[in-house]
A and B are shown apart, each in its own frame.
Chain A
């Protein structure tokens, strides 16, 4: 009996029932009775303002920056005034040491950001699922890093770590680690920025995981335990499969958030010391607004964009496919 329940629930969960099922309003069966098909003009008018905005503010800039990436413009020249230079911007970017370094750092930052925040977020979501005195209060407090503006938290982290006389380096010095200069040392600066990103992002993961876990019935665990499953087996065999869809979505979203993240890094280190924490997006910013070369800047941005568009299109199709199955 118990096994049936587990299998049944697992199966249900795998099919997405109760995890993410469509709401009752999803049309389909009722279409014949609806005037939606006849109200074409109204619906076009409904969508039109958003379409215009998306075209002007999102798609036009992408095409614009694609053109710019083959030109030698500055942030104050129009594309019509700049000269075409062919692939020169791409060549000069791809052959520069800083681009390689930035790509590597972006990858590290993203991997730590995604999996660090996922592990912390999942652990806390599991912890908060159990009965804990004042659990609700902790849930609210733990969301604060996500709510507080990043400029504020970066200011505070600056106070905590910026100089060897700041509180955290002083504490570390008491443990005999000597003068710890987080912002002066390339490796420490990288570690610091990654920790800061995990600190900001884990509440997102915690919320996502909590909502996925909310659909897990405790009886499933009872049944698993009666079957002699250990805690770890129950976790990998029951919990992980049930939350896998949400996990997958949150990984890809967090990847996008990390690759696109400008302020988290910039406010703490400005990309320094000596370019150690210059991610691709900061590199693009520096090319455009410090060196005043929009060509290489948009070349970097465009290569990032291409990667992200591919990632998100693949994700979108996989989610759609999962919905149909």
Chain B
């Protein structure tokens, strides 16, 4: 990587002489275009696989009479497969996960943010260790337990596992956000006779929309993208979520790239849409941002 000079670029120096400044300016402008070109090429290479999905989904199949751009793949998959069902399953599971994850993590995050004692730091350490546990370690025991409870091959079953997997990071994220809300706001409410719960609900939660949104997005993506748990737990094609639906469809129709990519587009649209609308609330990796901030 020849990235070193770039680190220095940016603000033109105000301390240089007038003549030097103009030449520095034009050099800076020239540098701008070089960097633009570089990043353009990099970006194109990086998003090629994603563009390919969109492109292939609009290309006619081998036996098709149509040539050029077409929506026939989408017509075919919506009419002839369970893709709408899978989409619905995924949406239900993801939304239930978000709902529970946020409403359980928010009060716990409040405790983590406002209290500092040995018990709470122990709790915080446990949360941090839990997020490092391999999913497979939990998946095998949960699979056996859930078989006994009749939760294997059900949507509530996978949603419960997802809620559990989001929990530690969601609590950290909420706590990190609550840290940024001055405690003096609550103190004023307490002076006016509000309870701790009242202060939490009326002051803290009401000012935490960005934190709640970030946590919700994190939970949504975890539930939406999970492959392993869905692979183990969901066996009927009517119970599939999008990842398993897409993967199974791909295995059965490997030659029909148009249809496969059409299903892929369907799966990709919700997270990309979410990202397009709410991108400032996306915190990469969830815990990464909150760790850096706490």
Structural contact, B43 and A141, CB atoms closer than 8 A: yes
CA distance A129 to B167 in the complex (A): 34
CB distance from A142 to the nearest CB of B (A): 6
Structural contact, A208 and B292, CB atoms closer than 8 A: yes
Assess whether B129 is interfacial by the CB under 8 Å rule: yes
B280-294: which residues lie under 8 A (CB-CB) from chain A?
282, 284-285, 287-289, 291-294
Residues on B with beta carbons closer than 8 Å to the beta carbon of A148: 50, 268, 271-272
Assess whether B19 is interfacial by the CB under 8 Å rule: no
Structural contact, A138 and B39, CB atoms closer than 8 A: yes
- From B10, B145, B257, B285, A129 is in contact (CB under 8 Å) with B10
Structural contact, A153 and B50, CB atoms closer than 8 A: yes
Residues on A with beta carbons closer than 8 Å to the beta carbon of B288: 204, 207-208, 249-250, 253
Assess whether B160 is interfacial by the CB under 8 Å rule: yes
- From B39, B143, B279, B285, A253 is in contact (CB under 8 Å) with B285
CB distance from A62 to the nearest CB of B (A): 6
Assess whether A50 is interfacial by the CB under 8 Å rule: yes
User: A132-B35, A156-B52 in contact; A50/B171 too (CB < 8 A)?
Assistant: yes
Structural contact, B10 and A262, CB atoms closer than 8 A: no
Binary flags per residue of B42-80, CB closer than 8 Å to A gives 1, else 0: 110011111011001000000000000000000000000
Structural contact, B38 and A127, CB atoms closer than 8 A: yes
CA distance A208 to B147 in the complex (A): 40
User: A253-B291, A263-B227 in contact; A204/B46 too (CB < 8 A)?
Assistant: no
Structural contact, A153 and B293, CB atoms closer than 8 A: no
Structural contact, A301 and B134, CB atoms closer than 8 A: yes
What is the predominant secondary structure among interface residues of chain A facing chain B?
A: helix
Structural contact, B36 and A155, CB atoms closer than 8 A: no
Structural contact, B133 and A62, CB atoms closer than 8 A: yes
Structural contact, B196 and A35, CB atoms closer than 8 A: yes
- From B42, B49, B164, A57 is in contact (CB under 8 Å) with B164
Residues on A with beta carbons closer than 8 Å to the beta carbon of B43: 138, 141-142
Of the listed residues A78, A135, A301, the one surrounded by the most CB atoms of chain B closer than 10 A to its CB is A301
Structural contact, A226 and B15, CB atoms closer than 8 A: yes
Structural contact, B9 and A262, CB atoms closer than 8 A: no
CB distance from B29 to the nearest CB of A (A): 9
CB distance from A194 to the nearest CB of B (A): 16
Assess whether A96 is interfacial by the CB under 8 Å rule: no
Structural contact, A150 and B35, CB atoms closer than 8 A: no
CA distance A26 to B200 in the complex (A): 15
CB distance from B171 to the nearest CB of A (A): 6
Q: Which of A87-95, A174-182, A184-192, A306-314 contacts B (4 or more CB under 8 A)?
A: A306-314
CA distance A21 to B214 in the complex (A): 20
Residues on B with beta carbons closer than 8 Å to the beta carbon of A226: 15
Assess whether A8 is interfacial by the CB under 8 Å rule: no
- From B9, B15, B275, A147 is in contact (CB under 8 Å) with B275
Structural contact, B141 and A47, CB atoms closer than 8 A: no
B238-294: which residues lie under 8 A (CB-CB) from chain A?
242-243, 246-247, 250, 257, 260-261, 264, 267-268, 271-272, 275, 279, 282, 284-285, 287-289, 291-294
Structural contact, A308 and B134, CB atoms closer than 8 A: yes
CA distance A221 to B228 in the complex (A): 47
CA distance A312 to B284 in the complex (A): 19
CA distance A288 to B242 in the complex (A): 24
Structural contact, A284 and B136, CB atoms closer than 8 A: yes
Binary flags per residue of A120-154, CB closer than 8 Å to B gives 1, else 0: 10111011111111110010111111111111110
- From A27, A57, A212, A253, B183 is in contact (CB under 8 Å) with A27
On chain A, which size bracket covers the interface?
A: 35 or more
Structural contact, B268 and A58, CB atoms closer than 8 A: no
CA distance A62 to B145 in the complex (A): 13
Binary flags per residue of A255-280, CB closer than 8 Å to B gives 1, else 0: 01101101100110000000000000
CA distance A267 to B246 in the complex (A): 11
- From A54, A203, A225, B130 is in contact (CB under 8 Å) with A54
CA distance A141 to B184 in the complex (A): 40
Assess whether A98 is interfacial by the CB under 8 Å rule: no
Assess whether A25 is interfacial by the CB under 8 Å rule: yes
Assess whether A85 is interfacial by the CB under 8 Å rule: no
Assess whether A43 is interfacial by the CB under 8 Å rule: yes
Residues on B with beta carbons closer than 8 Å to the beta carbon of A127: 3, 6, 35, 38-39
Structural contact, A301 and B10, CB atoms closer than 8 A: no
A31-74: which residues lie under 8 A (CB-CB) from chain B?
33-36, 39, 42-43, 45-47, 49-51, 53-54, 56-62, 64-65, 68
Assess whether A199 is interfacial by the CB under 8 Å rule: yes
CA distance A262 to B121 in the complex (A): 31
Residues on B with beta carbons closer than 8 Å to the beta carbon of A133: 32-33, 36
Residues on A with beta carbons closer than 8 Å to the beta carbon of B104: 49-50, 53
Assess whether B195 is interfacial by the CB under 8 Å rule: yes
Known: A127-B38, A231-B7, A312-B129; 9 extra A-B contacts, CB below 8 A, are A27-B115, A43-B111, A133-B36, A142-B43, A145-B47, A153-B50, A256-B132, A267-B247, A284-B137
Closest A-B pairs by Cβ, 4 of them: A57-B164, A46-B107, A64-B141, A23-B180
Give me the interface of A with B, judged by CB distance under 8 Å: 20, 22-28, 30, 33-36, 39, 42-43, 45-47, 49-51, 53-54, 56-62, 64-65, 68, 75-79, 119-120, 122-124, 126-135, 138, 140-153, 155-160, 199, 203-204, 207-208, 211-212, 218, 221-222, 225-226, 231-232, 234-235, 239, 245-246, 249-250, 253, 256-257, 259-260, 262-263, 266-267, 281, 284-285, 288-289, 294, 297-298, 301-302, 304-305, 308-309, 311-313, 315-316, 319-320
